[in-house]
A and B are shown apart, each in its own frame.
Chain A
Amino acid sequence: QKEVEQDPGPLSVPEGAIVSLNCTYSNSAFQYFMWYRQYSRKGPELLMYTYSSGNKEDGRFTAQVDKSSKYISLFIRDSQPSDSATYLCAMRASKIIFGSGTRLSIRP
């Protein structure tokens, strides 16, 4: 079993829809949780990070961490075609482990 599981998609939604991206994990030692956006042939870009459980909001993006369920989510409101990318979750205990990424496509 992988330490971090992420549905690879692809996920296709119409412009303006709310997008929900998720990861599950098995290591209860993870304390820091991150979401990265990666455009094709580019390096990942840090979107959000949270410490321990709870919600964090930044503009159209909301990150949620549920440590009891070992489940994290990223919500994107009012999705735009420019949000089309691969989204990677990541989490850290002693070192960072990345999910395999979910490919997201926003249809105009």
Chain B
Amino acid sequence: GAVVSQHPSWVICKSGTSVKIECRSLDFQATTMFWYRQFPKQSLMLMATSNEGSKATYEQGVEKDKFLINHASLTLSTLTVTSAHPEDSSFYICSAPSGGYQETQYFGPGTRLLVL
């Protein structure tokens, strides 16, 4: 199947700092990528849809000024958590639909963020 990578795989930062997470589609182009957050023993929650060449679409309740998304190319999307706080600690996962179909989206390995 298609391969999506994420970097870093885990990060620990101090409260108030910003953290950037990269998501790359390695063997296919993705005009759209999705960013999810997953708390322990809970479901994946879609945060935003990243669109190459245009603004991201955020889900209700997600602060666009706090979670900055940039879809710089057809293979790279970045999520920046600005002024991170302990409640932002979570597992962040990106995905990209292969062939443009959401049903066949391929997930990255995830980034575990811990804010102290």
Contacts of B1 in A (CB 8 A): 45-46
- Give every chain A residue within 8 A of B95 (Cβ-Cβ): 43
Query: What is the CB-to-nearest-CB distance from A11 to chain B, in angstroms, rounded to a whole number?
Result: 14
Do residues A100 and B93 form an inter-chain contact, with CB atoms below 8 A?
Answer: no
With A8-B41, A95-B102, A96-B102 as contacts: A44 and B107 at CB distance below 8 Å: yes
Dominant SS among interface residues on chain A: strand
Beta-carbon contacts under 8 Å, B83-112 to A: 91, 93, 95, 102-110, 112
Once the chains are docked, how many angstroms separate the CA of A99 from the CA of B105? Answer: 16
Partner of B110, one of A41, A51, A95, A100: A41
Our count of residue pairs bridging A and B at CB distance below 8 angstroms stands at 50
B-chain residues with CB within 8 Å of residue A43 when the two chains form the complex = 4, 6, 93, 95, 107-110
Digitize B42-68: 1 where CB-to-A-CB distance is under 8 Å, 0 elsewhere.
111010000000000000000000000
Complex interface: chain A residues within 8 A of B102 (CB): 32, 92, 95-96
Q: Are A44 and B103 in contact (CB under 8 A)?
A: no
A-B contact pairs, 30 of them (CB 8 A): A4-B43, A32-B102, A32-B103, A36-B107, A41-B91, A41-B110, A41-B112, A43-B4, A43-B6, A43-B93, A43-B95, A43-B109, A44-B44, A44-B93, A44-B107, A46-B105, A46-B106, A46-B107, A51-B103, A88-B43, A92-B103, A95-B46, A95-B102, A96-B102, A96-B105, A98-B43, A98-B44, A100-B41, A100-B43, A101-B43
